[in-house]
């Protein structure tokens, strides 16, 4: 996305890779105008972890409401958007399909570009919002639910240095908490 003379593009970003339905409106790469998240913790709590089919169905039920709320919070309409971005993976296949298909339909209907975002790259990019003075090169440890990756970040891109092969730290926390009889989600309760 190239910024035109002094105007940063307005981007709708959609996230549905696991158990949260989220939408944000950004101006350019670093200014968040709105952010809306629908959490599914209450839906998955009785099962002690995320149930993929329940997650997908909940995304279907909530995605339009979440996107509408993000637009309203930003004081914008769909027609004012310059692009639609969406998490394309990794994540739960059914959950991802909901977000990707919603974003595709919206982008097509608005005749706007569709930007596919890697879920892990999104976690890494969030560091630039939290730490504006951060500049590559650096190492980043991404520990998020089903993913545990060590990534080298350079101006030219990302290089995966290593990742867990059998289970991710977030899943291990949930499993350990379940064995100890602690409620879901396990991480905060440990």
Distance between CA 147 and CA 122 in Å, rounded?
Answer: 13
pLDDT over threshold 60, residue 2? no
Domains and CATH numbers, the chain: 1-132 (3.30.420.40), 135-190 (no CATH)
Give me the sheet containing 83-89, strands edge to edge. Answer: 31-39, 20-27, 10-15, 83-89, 114-118
Quote the percentage of the chain above a pLDDT of 90: 73
Name the pTM for this structure. Answer: 0.89
Confidence of residue 4 (pLDDT cuts 50, 70, 90): low
pLDDT tens for residues 81-103? Answer: 999 999 999 999 999 999 999 99
Ramachandran sector of residue 164 (left: φ over 0; alpha: ψ -120 to 50; beta: rest): beta
């Amino acid at each position: 996305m190239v910024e035109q003379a002094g105007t940063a593009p307005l981007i709708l970003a959609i996230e549905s890779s696991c158990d949260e339905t989220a939408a944000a409106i950004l101006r350019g790469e670093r200014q968040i105008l709105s952010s809306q998240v629908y959490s599914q913790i209450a839906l998955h709590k009785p099962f002690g972890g995320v149930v993929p089919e329940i997650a997908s169905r909940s995304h279907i039920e909530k995605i339009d409401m979440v996107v509408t709320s993000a637009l309203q919070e930003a004081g914008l309409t769909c027609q004012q958007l310059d692009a639609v971005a969406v998490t394309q993976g990794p994540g739960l296949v059914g959950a991802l399909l909901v977000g990707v298909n919603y974003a595709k339909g919206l982008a097509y209907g608005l005749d706007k570009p569709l930007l596919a975002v890697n879920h892990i790259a999104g976690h890494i990019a969030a560091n630039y919002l939290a730490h504006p003075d951060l500049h590559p090169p650096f190492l980043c440890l991404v520990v998020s639910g089903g993913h545990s990756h060590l990534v080298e970040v350079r101006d030219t891109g990302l290089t995966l240095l290593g990742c867990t092969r059998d289970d991710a730290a977030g899943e291990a926390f949930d499993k350990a908490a379940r064995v100890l009889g602690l409620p879901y989600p396990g991480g905060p309760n440990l």
